Amino acid sequence: MSSTAIRATAARTARPRGPRQSAWIHRRDRRGLWFVIPFLVAFLLFMIAPLGYAIYTSLYTTRIIGGTTFSGAANYTATLQSADFWSGVVRVAIYAAFQIPIMLAIAFFFATIFDLGVAKWGTLFRTIFFVPFAVPAVVGAVMWSFLLEPQFGPFVHIANAVGVHNVDFFSSTLMLPSIVVIVIWEWTGYNMVILYTALKSVPRDVVEAAILDDTPLWKIILRVKLPMVRPAIVLLIFLNLIGALQLFTEPLILYYFQPQAISVNYTPAIYIYWTAIGDGEYNLAAAAAVVLGLVIVVISVGSLAFRRRRGELG
């Protein structure tokens, strides 16, 4: 999202006006509040109030004997010192370190092919690649669980047929790579469409000038086009990073198929889920949710600052 656009729209609202008009306009403009109020009420009740209540809850401790007492930062200390919480964070970091570069490389490769028009039936392929975006994550994860399932999953059969025996995609070593494959399947098309749109906006004459200079194609792609779509790539890196930190649905569905390979602290979101729903430790879970939310907000703000500093707005 572009912060320039936000500032531009905000600036446009404040129009210059003469003093004679101002009283009338002021009275008229105040009526605008009535258009905004329904949303604001819902916004306060279902977004701000829960967040406030979560922060409040996270400052207390509930014990079976003794009831609820104020405990200050104790839940935050417990979260930040919890090996369970951090092992989830480390796991999603490892996951992101593989998933994001691989997916963006694939997405950029195909976006370039479609942009150059060097493959046949580009429009058809683009539509096909995008289809998984329409599939809910739960259904996508269930479908892939069937495909990778150790007993009857066709991928194990195929592995056996080509001579690779005893593959277990749900073993604790292969579980994370399996999740990487599932998420790549779900999101490559979406990333590809955004990169394709960015590549399309590279001016044609820049490319033509490079061609006239006898620049080889790979150089045009890597030295001319890639730098010009870098804002889109930076944006996608941050979006995917935020998505990775919230990883929840895919591992939880896989947990249903193979409980041994997905621990209760597999990702931070799953840790929060089990701490709250499984163990009933709402205060601790609230603190963990606040910490995770803050980390993501910091990354989001960081991405905005990063893009602004580089002058890569948009």
Partner 1 sequence: MNATTAVDRAAARGSDEAPPRRSRWLRRKPEDPGNDVIPIEMYGLKRGTTTFLTLVCALFAIFTLIPIAWVMINSTKTQANIFETFGFWFARPFSLFHNFSLLFQNVDGYGTYIQWMGNTALYALLGGGGATALAAFAGYGFARFSFRGSRILFYFVIAALLVPITAITLPLYLVYAKVHLINSIWGMVLPSMVSPVGVYLMRVYVEVSVPRELIDAARLDGAGELRIFFRLALPLMVPGLMTVLLLSIVGVWNNYFLPLIIFSQNRLYPLTVGLGLWAQRAQNSGNAELFPLVVIGGLVTIIPLIALFLVLQRYWRSGLLLGSIAN
Instruction: Identify residues 261-290 at the interface with partner 1 (CB under 8 A).
Output: 269, 272-273, 276-277, 282, 285-286, 289-290
Instruction: With contacts defined by CB under 8 A, name the span among 59-67, 70-78, 92-100, 186-194 that binds partner 1.
Output: 186-194
| Site membership for partner 1, residue 151 (CB under 8 A) | yes
- Report, in Å, the least distance between residue 33 CB and partner 1: 5
| Site membership for partner 1, residue 144 (CB under 8 A) | yes
What phi and psi, each to the nearest 5 degrees, are found at residue 61?
Answer: -125, 130
- Report, in Å, the least distance between residue 145 CB and partner 1: 7
| Site membership for partner 1, residue 249 (CB under 8 A) | yes
b/e code 140-158 from CB counts within 10 Å (16+ = b): bbbebbeebbeeebebbee
> Cβ distance 186 to 133 under 8 Å?
yes
| Site membership for partner 1, residue 157 (CB under 8 A) | yes
| Site membership for partner 1, residue 104 (CB under 8 A) | no
What phi and psi, each to the nearest 5 degrees, are found at residue 58?
Answer: -70, -15
Structure tokens at 30: 């105040």
d(CA 112, CA 222): 10
Residue among 247, 272, 83 at smallest CA distance from 176: 247
Residue among 219, 198, 195, 197 at smallest CA distance from 209: 219
Report which DSSP code applies to 234.
H
- Report, in Å, the least distance between residue 184 CB and partner 1: 9
| Site membership for partner 1, residue 246 (CB under 8 A) | yes
- Report, in Å, the least distance between residue 73 CB and partner 1: 18
| Site membership for partner 1, residue 20 (CB under 8 A) | no
Q: Which of residues 35-94 bind partner 1 (CB under 8 A)?
A: 35-36, 38-40, 42-43, 45-47, 49-51, 53-54, 57
Among residues 18, 19, 20, 33, the one that binds partner 1 under rule CB under 8 A: 33
C-beta neighbour count of 264 within 10 angstroms: 15
